[in-house]
Structure 1
């Protein structure tokens, strides 16, 4: 079942497609055949600019978690045999400090609808009763609506598709590795032990998603991943973690 067949979502999809087409037309004299890709990049940057306050909130939350780590460890030691009491005490500590243990998830959650819309736009051959001409645009010969996994499944993979997706995945994975090396995660001591390993792996999952997503969504993920690293490095200087 196509969720975008429902009228409200269909309208949102149509508006998103029209906005991308307008941006593509605007950039056409400048970028030519890459105008649609440039439109996706501009949308990505615009979304990230709007989310700067959310990034600041995330940086403050990381600083707060690091500062509270000794007290959280003390709570864990005291109430380790009473998980419910530990949860209550942990949440109370965060409330007393005016912080939230979930603030770090906000950037990902805020961007999810945008990625979902881009994904949908470049999967629908028709939008609003009209042919989706965005699907005619390419990046170095690779259609913006093509995914690597989809091309492999359909047997339509060529050298250009492999090369373009290899570059995207390499950039995303490289940025993930830099993030792991340069930005040690602030881990809640009261969280289960497996979350530490998950935090180390999580940045690399974006590279896996890019293999399944249309190229346009992969471009979004690549740009937003690089933006996130630079933004977090700058904010880490403004909100350093206690040593």
Structure 2
């Protein structure tokens, strides 16, 4: 058995007295929270970086106007500006990237029928009536949308939709507040981005439907954590940070 599978089982054993048959599901939620807690210092650093980027936006727009026809000169000028202000245009990406290995480990664990040549018993563990190895199409084949398994997914979809709406509204506010170019025009492509980017918040619904329920729990927990974290970290800059990966 893999070390990661042993970790999940150990957490489930610790939570068993409280959550009974759903202890493994609770262990996944706890594991996700521990991952998010581990990367929280990076999230705080990313928030500081994104606030710095927002502060530099007018200068960036000015440089794009000044060197728009000379990409090499523009890139050099932007790098010099970010280095001078100790900021980074990619400051919000690192926390999300560091979470991906944990997500893929969980996805892999609950997508395989065997572990080390032995049957994967974790696939039979449940969240209430829904097996953690099932996907949304399995729900449709076993009781339908309003069956016992279907109701579990409906609850997850409702929570993800609520978080997506919060992120959607924050993204809309941020895109509406994008700085104008020095000549009064908007940044190139800003109109299209304003329409498309906010809708990406709802992409999580699709992901939850196609991955195993265990991985869906990771996504739901992580996106909910992200929404709350951004409200706290960007409370003095309400529209910021909405474009970051929701994971």
TM-score (norm 2): 0.82
Are the aligned partners of 1:126 and 1:132 in contact in 2 as well (CA < 8 Å)? yes
Deviation, structure 1 residue 54: 1.3
Match of 2:34 among 27, 33, 46: 46
Offset at residue 32 of structure 1 (A) = 0.5
Alignment check: 8 A CA contact 1:67 1:241 kept: no
* Aligned counterpart, 2:114: 126
Listed as ranges, the matches of 1:170-209 within 5 Å are: 170-182=158-170, 184-185=173-174, 193=190, 194-209=192-207
User: Are residues 191 and 166 of structure 1, via their aligned partners in 2, closer, same or farther at CA, if it must alter by over 3 Å?
Assistant: farther
Taking the TM superposition and a 5 Å limit, the aligned residue runs for 1:95-110 are 95-110=83-98
Higher helix share: 1
Distance 1:37 1:212 in 2: 18
| Number of the residue aligned with 2:213 | 215
Give me the whole-angstrom Cα distance separating, in 2, the residues matched to 1:26 and 1:47: 18
Q: Which runs of 5+ in 1 are unaligned?
A: 1-12
Structural mapping, 1:71-82, within 5 Å: 71-82=59-70
**Residue deviations 1:184-232 (CA, integer Å, cap 9, x gap):** 4476987853555454233222221111111111111111111111111
Contact 1:150–1:212 (8 Å) recurs in 2: no
- For residues 67-102 of structure 1, the C-alpha deviation after alignment (integer angstroms, 9 at most, x for no partner) is 001101101111122233222222221122111111
Q: Secondary structure at the match of 1:101?
A: coil
Between the aligned partners of 1:231 and 1:34, the Cα distance in structure 2 is 26
Tell me which moved more, 205-214 or 142-151: 142-151
Which runs of no fewer than 5 residues in structure 2 stay unpaired? 181-186, 241-247
Cα distance, 1:57 vs structure 2: 1.5
User: Residue 44 of structure 2: which of 56, 69, 81 is its match?
Assistant: 56
Compute the TM-score of the two structures, normalised by the length of structure 1: 0.84
Q: What whole-Å deviation, never above 9, does each CA across 1:104-149 have from its counterpart, x for those lacking one?
A: 1122211111111111111112112222211111112110011114
Q: How many residues align?
A: 228
Contact 1:185 1:199 in 2 (8 A): no
1:151 to partner: Cα distance: 5.0
Aligned match of 1:232: 230
Residue 38 and residue 191 in structure 1: after superposition, are their counterparts in 2 closer, same or farther (change >3 A)?
farther
C-alpha contact (below 8 Å) 1:63/1:241 kept by paired residues: no
Larger deviation, residues 80-89 vs 191-200: 191-200
The alignment's C-alpha RMSD in Å is: 2.5
In 2: Cα distance, 1:170 partner to 1:219 partner: 13
Deviations 1:15-35 (A, max 9, x none): 111110111122112210110
> CA–CA distance in 2 between the matches of 1:121 and 1:48?
19
